[in-house]
Structure 1
Amino acid sequence: NVQAGTIGVVMARTMTQGGDGLNHQGAIAYVLDASSLDLIVNHGQTSGHSFGNTLLLTSDGNFLSMDMGDNYPRGINLQRFGRQSGSKRGYVVYNIKTKHGTSPTSPAGATYPVYSEISTGSTTYYKWSNDNYVYTEIGHQGLVEVSDGILVFFAGERP
């Protein structure tokens, strides 16, 4: 944002090893001072396991990002943010299907009940998922501001 002297960033990154022994991945949003590159505000996570993102400056001077997350939240996620702390607002504009577990115990060792609504005579599903596939691609530039809103471009698999 040339007028405000700010740079909006959405960055996918791999985190250091967590308490569970894993190096998780996700995207974060932050704003930098354009002159010094000092951090103005870190808005935190936009998506867990971010599989691509895009960013634009809106007519009101805020940043609008779109990224694809497979968890926290799972879907195409829009984030509007500015230089003020607490200004980030998120919206899931498209929920991605997920493949549910076929055993009662998840990889984390927790036990879950049968998901009877989607189970069939040949396959029993359970109410957990560790599906990292997103079955979807976002467009680049996938966001277009128009006079009465935002257009979001992506390709998704039919249900």
Structure 2
Amino acid sequence: MKPQSTSVRPLLIAALAGVVFAAGLALGGMMDPRKVQGFLDVGGIGSGRWDPSLAFVMGGALLVSLITFARVGTREMSWSGDPIALPTRRDIDGRLVGGAALFGVGWGLSGYCPGPAVASLLIGGLDVACFIGAMAAGMLLARWWQTRAVDSQGADA
């Protein structure tokens, strides 16, 4: 296994990927919480009008992901020279379902997905700052909860 590269190339690749991702989010309307909530309002309960336009953004992202993962599966090293290690777990457990449900509820209520929310910090707004703060607090709470569960299992052994 090759040691992790200390050159500037991995940082440039990561920065370029971040800029392309943020630009795609902005161009696709994913940084506008009203547009996202309009897409998620399939039943017309909130605004009364469903906005299906983000389905094309998500479909394009899915297409890019499918092609990328098909190519990545044939490579051992990334462009930055780091080894590629894809997840191998395929089981569905309570943590996965619960996390997905919390993610969906948070996205639907706020209109922000974590990636677009971070990108939205550049254009400002108290609402996105509050969302990022709540998301960070939730992540810290989840880490504390997980550590507590692991510690209590160790104490039972």
Fold shared, TM-score > 0.5 on shorter chain: no
TM-score by length of 1: 0.20
Q: Which has the higher contact order (CA 8 A, sep 6+)?
A: 2
Structure with higher helix content: 2
TM-score by length of 2: 0.20
